[in-house]
Amino acid sequence: MFVKIERDYDAMSARGAQIVAEVVRQKPNAVLGLATGSTPEGLYRCLIDIARQENLDFSQVTTFNLDEYEGLPAGHPQSYHAFMWEHLFEGLGLREEQTNLLSGIAADLPGECVAFEQKIRAAGGIDIQVLGIGGDGHIAFCEPGSSLAGRTSVVALHPQTIADNARFFDTEDEVPRRALSMGVGTILEARSCLILAKGEGKAQPWAGMIEGPVSSQVPASALQLHPWTIAISDTAAAAQLKNGEYYQHVDRERNDQPVIPPWIVDPDLDPRRQFASRIESVDG
Ligand code: F6R
């Protein structure tokens, strides 16, 4: 995991946006995995600015969102559909058919989850997955105890998540109790992951994700098993890292390295694939 500590939210957002923009520069038909919540709002603002300043073309991009609340139609103001159009899709001028979000009101919710996985596969897999972390260590809506091999499914939200997300609703009672969410296993298949955290409220799960044991109690810690995850936070969220100074040293030493993995452009370079084909050639 590449751990980067920025002085504040704006610097974190700008750095994150540059990474996503680089994916689209190198691969104009990239598949972007996206998150909602307050953390990526700044990244999305910066990405829209970059797209306008550089005339960066998003017309061939495909997007997949991590999750959606059960029971909220796309037009509901607190739905993640509405969030994405307000904070990113509109600003990038995306067409609806470029975007993929789970439907929280599908008649067959488990079937909706399977169809979503099929769509990701048909699109060639996710090139970069943007993530935020929950106060309880979740990614997407994979709450503590989720299988680290889990696929997209209907999940029950943790009481802490319901309380945390109540700020977007008039009352806590209005927060849906269940959601549809990509699984940790789905997320780990992305070619790269970019996870962000801001504020002291994230310091504990952030340290658990980076320095704690890999555990379903902190589902974000599964990212330690991913070959290319970039974790960017502000200083407040990094406050409980034991090796914070070392990560900053590594970051300075590595500033001549590419910010995205070479296997986004050439999937055969993915170490997960290379290893499999080397084993096959030894077998054969
Ligand atoms: C939302 C999502 C969640 C959030 C997390 C942090 O699509 O996947 O995992 O990233 O709950 O939310 P914020 O950014 O609001 O603190």
> Residue with the nearest Cα to atom 8 of ligand 1?
140
Of the given ranges (9-18, 36-45, 95-104, 267-276), which has the lowest mean pLDDT? 267-276
Ligand 1 centre and the CA of 221: distance in Å? Answer: 15
pLDDT at 283 over 90: no
Stretch 83-91: mean pLDDT, rounded?
Answer: 98
Active site residue 268: no
Strand bridging mode 193-197 / 99-100? unpaired
Model pLDDT for residues 24-43, shown as the tens digit of each residue: 999 999 999 999 999 999 99
CATH 3.30.470.20 fits 2-283, yes or no: no
d(CA 192, CA 228): 5
C-alpha separations of 100 from 16, 22, 47, 75, 221 in Å: 21, 21, 19, 15, 26
Catalytic residue flag (residue 90) = no
**Residue 37: its pLDDT value, please?**
97
The SS3 call for residue 180 is strand
pLDDT at 95 over 90: yes
Pocket of ligand 1 (CB under 6 A): 35-39, 66-67, 132-134, 138-140
Per annotation, catalytic residue among 138, 164, 226, 234: 138
**Residue with the two structure tokens 């974790």:** 231
Write out the two tokens for 129: 């997955």
DSSP-derived 3-state class of residue 184: helix
| CA-based nearest residue to 225, from 254, 193, 265, 182 | 193
Is residue 284 predicted with pLDDT exceeding 70? no
Closest alpha carbon to 30 in 267, 228, 250: 267
- The average pLDDT across 60-82 equals 98
User: Which SS3 state, helix, strand or coil, does residue 167 take?
Assistant: helix
Is 67 annotated as catalytic? Answer: yes
End-to-end CA distance of the chain: 33
Q: Is residue 280 over pLDDT 90?
A: no
